[in-house]
Amino acid sequence: MESFAILTDSSSNLTPDLAREADIGIIPLTCFTQQGEMPCYDDRTVFDGHAFYDALRKTGPIKTSMINAQQFIAAFEPVVKAGRDVLYFAMSSGISGTCAAGAQAAAELMKKYPGRVIRVVDTLAASFGEGIFAMKASMMRRARASLQSAGDWAEENKRRMCQFFTVDDLTFLQKGGRISAFTAKIGTLANIKPLLVGDSEGRIVSCGKVIGRKKSLQAIADLFDKHAGQDENEIVAIAHGDCAGDAEYLASLLKKKRSLKDVLIRCYEPGTGSHVGPGAVALFFLSPKPCK
């Protein structure tokens, strides 16, 4: 058994194969489709990204629900009751109350189980920006690092996480309260593609705009070239809203900029995907120095 448990939420974009390989527990957010309430993560099924985003194209934005304190208690308590500590990587507090709910649950359980530790890290990120920290912590755990060391490393390095993305329709982000109405106006002009970034407070803000889809992906590749280091083993990840071809195109551009062993590509999971919408493409990587 591993020395401590690593958990994150489904916003981390860690698919069941990635979570199993790294021994990371996933706590699901909830989304509400026309078919009713559904968890944003299920390790027993394969997420049908095309069907989900095709439905969004027809219905528009749908509601999602954060993980509340009682759900966190249900996830954390079996671990601490069994005598293990927990390192939990949370979605950015700048876009969700999930982190605060996790911290509340952790405080309650540490009173109930004296001597046990539940550490909550506000990653100031979402999707793979959150998931990469959980994966890095898993690697550190395998190398026999302590929970404190892994948590401290994440806290010290979370502002090195670069998150650059573009979307086809800013309505999804605006309706979900992730961006302001002012920022959303960028997308009202024909064929204007916004460039968005996660800022130092974990919020989503505009960092530019270009004309045309390919140019928006090229602009993200240029930002990668500006901020990325030279370590070919660094985790570089792309999430997309049912546009695998665009994600592969971006990956090809990145490989022209750097020597990369691999680029991790996955469809956006339902919770975050509900807010970025179909056609979103996002890039996540750690820069050698703070990029927030």
pLDDT tens for residues 153-178? 999 999 999 999 998 776 766 655 54
| For residues 109-128, average pLDDT | 97
Tell which wins on pLDDT, 281 or 233: 281
**What are the structure tokens assigned to 43, written together?**
């390790």
| For residues 247-275, average pLDDT | 94
pLDDT at 30 over 80: yes
Q: Which of 1-15, 75-89, 261-275 has the highest mean pLDDT?
A: 75-89
pLDDT number for residue 149: 97
pTM recorded for the entire structure: 0.91
CA distance linking residue 118 with residue 274, whole number of Å? 29
**What are the structure tokens assigned to 117, written together?**
């530790």
Give a yes or no: residue 291 inside a domain: no
Backbone dihedral region for residue 205 (phi beyond 0: left; psi -120 to 50: alpha; all else: beta): beta
pLDDT at 36 over 90: no
Structure-token match 């957010």, residue found: 29
pLDDT number for residue 208: 84
Tell which wins on pLDDT, 208 or 91: 91
CATH of the domain at 74: 3.40.50.10170
| For residues 4-25, average pLDDT | 97
Report the chain's mean pLDDT, rounded to a whole number: 90
Residues 124 and 29 placed together within one structural domain of the fold: yes
Residues 37 and 55 placed together within one structural domain of the fold: yes
Of the residues 128, 158, 188, which one is the last residue of a structural domain?
158
pLDDT number for residue 183: 52
Residues 165 and 95 placed together within one structural domain of the fold: no
Lowest-confidence segment of 87-91, 144-148, 190-194 by average pLDDT: 190-194
Residues 152 and 197 placed together within one structural domain of the fold: no
Beta-strand ranges (E) seen in the chain are 4-9, 24-27, 30-33, 36-39, 63-65, 85-90, 118-122, 161-166, 192-198, 204-211, 237-240, 264-267, 281-286
Under 8 Å between Cβ of 185 and 151: no
| For residues 276-290, average pLDDT | 93
Residues 185 and 82 placed together within one structural domain of the fold: no
| For residues 73-87, average pLDDT | 98
Under 8 Å between Cβ of 147 and 117: yes
| For residues 98-107, average pLDDT | 97
pLDDT at 120 over 70: yes
pLDDT number for residue 130: 96
Q: How confident is the model at residue 2 (pLDDT cuts 50, 70, 90)?
A: low
Give a yes or no: residue 233 inside a domain: yes
CA distance linking residue 61 with residue 53, whole number of Å? 10
Residues 218 and 275 placed together within one structural domain of the fold: yes
Residues 139 and 241 placed together within one structural domain of the fold: no
| For residues 21-49, average pLDDT | 90
Q: In this prediction, what percent of the chain has a pLDDT beyond 90? A: 67
pLDDT tens for residues 169-211? 767 666 555 455 545 455 555 567 788 888 888 887 778 888 8
- Structural domain total, the chain: 2
CA distance linking residue 76 with residue 71, whole number of Å? 9
Give a yes or no: residue 71 inside a domain: yes
pLDDT at 150 over 80: yes
| For residues 127-142, average pLDDT | 97
pLDDT number for residue 54: 92
Residues 39 and 87 placed together within one structural domain of the fold: yes
Residues 45 and 168 placed together within one structural domain of the fold: no
Residues 280 and 168 placed together within one structural domain of the fold: yes
Owning domain of residue 202 = 160-286
Residues 167 and 151 placed together within one structural domain of the fold: no
Nearest CA to 246 among 227, 223, 232, 265? 265
CATH of the domain at 223: 3.30.1180.10
Give a yes or no: residue 292 inside a domain: no
Lowest-confidence segment of 152-166, 188-202, 232-246, 278-292 by average pLDDT: 188-202
Give a yes or no: residue 264 inside a domain: yes
Residues 150 and 174 placed together within one structural domain of the fold: no
